[in-house]
Amino acid sequence: MNLSLSGHHLEITPALRSYVEDKLARVKRHFDHVIDAHVVLSVDKLRQKAEVTLHVRGKDIHCTCEEQDLYAAIDLVTDKLDRQVLKYKAKRSGKPHEAPKRADND
């Protein structure tokens, strides 16, 4: 998985980078067909915002979360992302529909 991490009005420290990588590893553990992830962390006065866009085969999954603490925002956005990835995985690997059975009238 390719990870693109950028900051808006924020410098990305090695601690932030490793924290985001650890959190996204959980998503990768549930669904290994993730092509790349684009993470934008931004700060605007008292609002800390984390945005993640995951590119999987056939779909882009996007999540956004705002909190007063940046680490809490990262936690919440990865929780949302994890739920969306599991939902997408369940839809994609659903069983195909069976042909309807006819009732024989003899």
Whether the predicted pLDDT of 85 surpasses 80: yes
Specify the CATH number of the domain 2-92: 3.30.160.100
Pairing of strands 2-8, 34-44: parallel
- Whole-number mean pLDDT of the chain? 87
Dump pLDDT digits (tens) for 35-62.
899 999 999 988 999 999 998 888 899 9
Q: Where are the domains of the chain?
A: 2-92
pLDDT for residue 100: 64
